[in-house]
Amino acid sequence: MVKYILMNASEIRQKYLEFMKSKGHVQIAPAPLVLENDPTTLFTGSGMQPLLPYLLGKPHKDGTRLTDSQPCLRLQDIEDVGDPRHTTVFEMLGNWSLGDYFKEEQIRNFFTFLTQEVGVDPSKLYVTCFIGNEKYGIPRDDEAAHIWQQVFKEAGIDAKIVEINTAENGDKRGVREGERIFFYNDKENWWSRGGGIESTPIGDPCGPDSEVFYDFGEDKQDVEKYGQSHPASDGARFMEIGNQVFMQYRRKEDGTFEELEHKNVDFGAGLERITAAAINSYDVFEISLLKPIVDRIVELSGKKYEDYTSEMRIIADHLRGAYLLTAQGLKPSNKQQGYALRRLIRRAILKALNLGIEDNFLAGILPMIADNYKDLPDSILTNRDEVLDVLSKEEQAFRHTIRRGMKELGRLKDQGLTGKELFMLQDTYGFPLELSVEEAKREGIALSADWQKEFDAALNEQRERSKTASKGMFKGGLEDHGEMSTKYHTATHLLLAALQQLISADICQKGSNITAERMRLDFNCDHKLEKDELQKLEDQVNEWIKADLPVVHDEYDKAYARDTLKAHGSFWDKYPEKLTVYTIGDWDKPTSREVCGGPHVEHTGVLGHFVIKKEEASAAGIRRIKAILE
């Protein structure tokens, strides 16, 4: 019989840390969201990120069994926030075995914690394991699968193992009666710093992982949209709540793999998601860390959550992120981490404005968020007392910007608005495009038929002026010149080449935005790309990455680059007479040859595994692809 224990997130966090300490783990302090001496990412995005040196072999002062609860921030999915489970901020419960215990103890500990400490119904749990790789002689992880089978059996559940590669046809066959343990390939159940097996860096520890999912029920699946639900599929039925990485291999100089003498466990579980499972709600905004914030937004706005769900979720999520960053001493600015903070707080203010919430709404919400994080040490949140003052000043400044923009918008009311005026409002007055369009519709101000296209043209024109006039400034839509941004920049060239090869030779880049966490490419296309087209694009890019193609560049006269080298470029009339051309692959038959200001990697093999996360409309006749490197 299942023992249900209704626990809030703070109780689950504390229960987890106490449970792991009872198993011999030492609780370590979480790392700050902004890591020092780590140019590869803007923020701490996982619980293991600060512990990577110790997983690579460095001894830890606190021994071989460690645990913590790590606040994390990921911005690559910021535009997906508003659905039931995406957040930019989350807390990762973690434990590590540095050459100590391995699969048996880890699997049993997590299952015990979920079912006995938190009270999760074991019949709602499903797991995945690695199917193996014949090419590299890595066997299927039957060991983990059989441990799981025994653990379920002891809980009174006959857990069938799915013998096929579910990753290849899961959305066609779904989950059948009794099936509970599923095998997936290295896209889903292999961990390395480079992504899949092919992208595992030489010398690095790596290995199979086993993910745990919670089932919210068949009524949550959308077969028409996502196909038949299975643990790693899209849709609301299954939600991953924890992942156990078994680091048992190292990649050798010849590219093959050898077993590690001392094997590690790297475990991470989302606190928000476990809490959602504990209350059986597929909407993480119903949990104790978020629902009180949403309730306060309902109170301040006088509007119903079900009528303005997306806006309220975005405000709740973004203010959590803004609080944590500001409490760690970060201030809004126009550079890197400070810009990310500014983006979070201003997006929240915009959504609040849409709800009719007046000035100084932060004072009614930030204290609630502070209370959620009162247990985090002062060594991390060094500036707790300054948060409200810092963010209130940012709110006041942004609302002043909005008022200026509204005044200018009123001046343009009679003549109507084209994309050029919309861009001017954003560029000159800081008045966001989203707000301009919404206010124009509210006030009955006419918008030109092609306003989005005109806006994008004005934006791209400004980018090109900046690109050719900024010698040494960041180029190509990059947020910075760090390692990951450089990798994503090169991957963008590969994606454009794949689009031209597989979709249409007439495709051109219409804009890009690259950060250390993801890439975004806009391109001309007259139709939504289907799932099989996206898969072909993804496979082609990964094939070029696997081939480890050389990347070279040099300066040429514009006419020679265009007419002789046939380099791809979108703005020939705006390019200088001397420009840089990057070539990927064979010189005579290049995979990609583009006019570009750089920077790029020297060969594609270092990029990792390329994954397309989203394809959507950007403007009339313009599509947008968002992708990451794993």
Predicted confidence (pLDDT) per residue in 232-291, tens digit = 888 889 999 999 999 999 999 999 999 988 899 999 999 999 999 999 999 999 999 999
What is the mean pLDDT of the segment spanning 5-32?
Answer: 91
Q: Are strands 190-191 and 205-215 parallel, antiparallel or unpaired?
A: antiparallel
- How far is residue 559 from each of residues 77, 543, 551, measured CA to CA in Å? 40, 32, 22
Q: Are residues 426 and 436 in contact, defined by beta-carbon separation less than 8 angstroms?
A: yes
- Percentage helix, strand, coil for the chain under 3-state DSSP, each rounded to 5: 45, 20, 35
Q: Which of 574, 609, 616 is nearest to 595 (CA)?
A: 574
Give yes or no: residues 469 and 492 share one domain: no
Q: Can you give the CATH number for the domain in which 93 is found?
A: 3.30.930.10
Please, what is the angle between helix 387-411 and helix 433-443, to 10°? Answer: 50
Give yes or no: residues 110 and 180 share one domain: yes
pLDDT at 170: 77
Alpha carbons within 13 angstroms on the beta-carbon side of residue 307 total 8
Give yes or no: residues 295 and 318 share one domain: yes
What contacts 560, CB < 8 A, 6 or more positions away? none
Give yes or no: residues 229 and 350 share one domain: no
pLDDT band for position 334 (cuts 50, 70, 90): low
Give yes or no: residues 386 and 425 share one domain: no
4, part of any domain:
no
What contacts 302, CB < 8 A, 6 or more positions away? 356
Give yes or no: residues 441 and 537 share one domain: no
Domain count, the chain: 4
Give yes or no: residues 324 and 427 share one domain: no
1, part of any domain:
no
Identify the residue whose tokens are 């508003």. 82
Helix runs in 174-288, H state only: 186-189, 223-226, 271-278
Give yes or no: residues 335 and 234 share one domain: no
- b vs e for 47-66, b when ≥16 Cβ sit within 10 Å of the residue's Cβ? bbbbbeebbeeeebeeebbb
270, 286, 302 - which closes a domain: 286
Q: Can you give the CATH number for the domain in which 624 is found?
A: 3.30.980.10
Range among 112-121, 165-174, 345-354, 422-431 rated most confident? 112-121
436, part of any domain:
yes
- Kindly state the DSSP code that residue 382 receives in the 8-state scheme: T
On the question of a cis peptide bond just before residue 599, with omega within 30 degrees of 0, the verdict is: yes
3, part of any domain:
no
Give yes or no: residues 490 and 406 share one domain: no
478, part of any domain:
no
pLDDT band for position 473 (cuts 50, 70, 90): very low
Distance CA 348, CA 294 (A): 12
Give yes or no: residues 143 and 264 share one domain: yes
pLDDT band for position 469 (cuts 50, 70, 90): very low
The encoded tokens of residue 164 equal: 């096929």
pLDDT at 258: 94
Give yes or no: residues 124 and 245 share one domain: yes
Range of the domain at 376: 291-411
282, part of any domain:
yes
447, part of any domain:
yes
At 50, which amino acid appears? Answer: P
The encoded tokens of residue 136 equal: 């590299």
411, 430, 448 - which closes a domain: 411
Q: Are residues 629 and 491 in contact, defined by beta-carbon separation less than 8 angstroms?
A: yes
Give yes or no: residues 223 and 179 share one domain: yes
114, part of any domain:
yes
433, 452, 473 - which closes a domain: 473
